[in-house]
Structure 1
């Protein structure tokens, strides 16, 4: 399917586009609100500034895709592959990203408030300045993730792996970090007011005051 055919069929009222191959397609600013693109191949596609809110992208392949400033609010991205994708400044409010692969993805200044990231992989992802207020990241993998200046207020990080993560200047006020792994993470200047750190692993962690936890 060509990008032109996809847009034409969408504008005609069609919404079911499962299993389509649009690898590397140019879909800048496209409006696919509510479309079902599950199981499709959109690797390295350019969807920057696209309107994809409430779209269904379960198990869709989006590795290396450009979704900069795209609207994915309330979209369904269950088990999606977003490895090394560009999601900088993307709007992912209340998006379903459980078990998604966001390894090495660029999520700089993205809005992920209220997003579901249960068991998602964000290893080595760049989340600098991202809004993760009230996001559910239970059992998520954030190994070596960059969360510098990120907003994690009231986020659920129960059992999350934040080992070697950069949390410098992050806001973890009232965050749930019970049984989370923070080994060798850098929490310099981080706000932990009201945060639940019960049974969290803090071996070698640099604490907010700059001291190392033993």
Structure 2
């Protein structure tokens, strides 16, 4: 269906567009409140700045159109190839200099091998940023040692400096190779899954090895050594790419670049109003949700949300994103100081959850099980607790306002202290441990209870 046809039908009062094919259409800055787009194909559709308040997008299919997916996948393989070229170039230099009969070359080659090993080790344990930092420190230490022992060196400092420039250049090439390979692997994984990384890896390895051999002298050990050095860098980059796409915090920036890259041409909700929109079981891979208004937006069992570009929304934190996708993950879990502004946790099983000092502004817990939850010092302005189970919750210092909704709350008793006072009391209400609130009593009297 063309965008013009849908907009005309919408203006005439139609709201049900279930199952429609809207691939590649643009609804930028349009008014589509309460529209029903269940099971619709919205790959590549532009909803930027669109008002989709109350829209039903459950089981919809977002992401990239096929031609865009193929184009971006091809580009990621091109990056892999470039990474292989750089790896081979740097690998051949490292081994050739180390095996040269020239003393200067041998010193530079040996130093390069050591620094390359340090780079790989630190990148593995601390991410590429850690690896880069280790290289900088190693180079500074090398320079200090060279100056300190300058008089005992069998060559001039000018010669050492000129060769050092070449040496640093090839190290930079190796780092670029690792970075490009990691981004390419992460991008391929975001588009087509882990299998795509597995496919791109041998491709990059073959190119790296070929490049290393092409630059090596025709000596068997040199060829093998060059290839090993090149493959080591390529393997590291592939691993870092795989690790980043699986939300490893050490390589978060690689993942962010890859996700930004793979969202080009994908479904866009950039700056869209998604208040109370429903994405239950929708596919949101390669979807742009940056700066979108996500107030009580439903993400229950949403697929590929981890591959969406979420910017600074509450979906940025993997723990929060996973909680919104699986409403049972909060059971007896710790979410202290969590940002849950506008979160939709209606019907969730949050028994025993610790939400101390969490921001629950504009969130909904309608019908949720919050038995024995810790709500100490939470911000709960305009929060919907309607029909939720609040028996045994701790409400010490919680902040609510006249818009906080408690209609139909199921609550037998509460506590006003997180920890027992000097008398061993948590200030249970009602005071008598053998007495509970009657039905509707907590709802009617909660302002007095909180201020007492």
TM-score interval, smaller chain? 0.5 to 0.7
Does the CA contact (< 8 Å) of 1:98 and 1:117 recur in 2?
Answer: yes
- Aligned with 2:295 (options 93, 98, 104): 93
Q: Do residues 42 (structure 1) and 42 (structure 2) align?
A: yes
Aligned equivalent of 2:224 = none
Does the CA contact (< 8 Å) of 1:28 and 1:47 recur in 2?
Answer: yes
Does the CA contact (< 8 Å) of 2:271 and 2:293 recur in 1?
Answer: yes
Q: Provide the C-alpha distance between the structure 2 equivalents of 1:19 and 1:134, rounded to a whole number of angstroms.
A: 28
Q: CA deviation at 1:111?
A: 5.9
Q: Provide the C-alpha distance between the structure 2 equivalents of 1:4 and 1:67, rounded to a whole number of angstroms.
A: 19
Aligned equivalent of 1:13 = 13
Q: Provide the C-alpha distance between the structure 2 equivalents of 1:36 and 1:131, rounded to a whole number of angstroms.
A: 29
Q: Provide the C-alpha distance between the structure 1 equivalents of 2:27 and 2:342, rounded to a whole number of angstroms.
A: 31
Does the CA contact (< 8 Å) of 2:295 and 2:343 recur in 1?
Answer: no
* TM-score (norm: length of structure 1): 0.56
Aligned equivalent of 1:23 = 23
Does the CA contact (< 8 Å) of 2:300 and 2:324 recur in 1?
Answer: yes
Aligned equivalent of 1:110 = 313
- Aligned with 1:79 (options 281, 292, 295): 281
- Aligned with 1:133 (options 341, 353, 369): 341
Q: CA deviation at 1:109?
A: 2.5
Does the CA contact (< 8 Å) of 2:3 and 2:22 recur in 1?
Answer: yes
Does the CA contact (< 8 Å) of 1:66 and 1:85 recur in 2?
Answer: yes
Does the CA contact (< 8 Å) of 1:52 and 1:72 recur in 2?
Answer: yes
Which 5+ residue runs of structure 2 have no aligned equivalent?
Answer: 64-265, 328-337, 350-356, 364-376, 379-452
Do the aligned partners of residues 119 and 32 (structure 1) sit closer, same or farther apart at CA in structure 2, a change above 3 Å counting? same
How large is the Cα RMSD of the aligned pairs?
3.4
- Relative contact order higher in (CA < 8 Å, ≥ 6 apart): 2
Q: Provide the C-alpha distance between the structure 1 equivalents of 2:280 and 2:17, rounded to a whole number of angstroms.
A: 16
Q: CA deviation at 1:32?
A: 1.0
Does the CA contact (< 8 Å) of 1:111 and 1:132 recur in 2?
Answer: yes
Deviations 1:39-92 (A, max 9, x none): 000011111001101011110111230110000100111111111210000011
Q: Provide the C-alpha distance between the structure 2 equivalents of 1:67 and 1:153, rounded to a whole number of angstroms.
A: 24
Aligned equivalent of 1:69 = 271
Instruction: Choose between structure 1 and 2: higher helix proportion.
Output: 2
Aligned residues: 139
Do the aligned partners of residues 16 and 3 (structure 1) sit closer, same or farther apart at CA in structure 2, a change above 3 Å counting? same
Q: Provide the C-alpha distance between the structure 1 equivalents of 2:35 and 2:271, rounded to a whole number of angstroms.
A: 18
Aligned equivalent of 1:161 = none
* TM-score (norm: length of structure 2): 0.28
Q: What is the SS of the residue equivalent to 1:117?
A: helix
Q: What is the SS of the residue equivalent to 2:6?
A: helix
Q: CA deviation at 1:134?
A: 6.5
Greater C-alpha radius of gyration: 2
Does the CA contact (< 8 Å) of 1:22 and 1:45 recur in 2?
Answer: yes
Do the aligned partners of residues 13 and 131 (structure 1) sit closer, same or farther apart at CA in structure 2, a change above 3 Å counting? farther
Which 5+ residue runs of structure 1 have no aligned equivalent?
Answer: 121-129, 140-150, 156-172, 175-214
Q: CA deviation at 1:152?
A: 6.2
Q: Provide the C-alpha distance between the structure 1 equivalents of 2:313 and 2:281, rounded to a whole number of angstroms.
A: 19
Q: CA deviation at 1:24?
A: 1.1
Q: Provide the C-alpha distance between the structure 2 equivalents of 1:134 and 1:7, rounded to a whole number of angstroms.
A: 29
The correspondence of residues 51-66 of structure 1 with structure 2, limited to 5 A, is 51-63=51-63, 64-66=266-268
Aligned equivalent of 1:199 = none
Q: CA deviation at 1:119?
A: 1.8
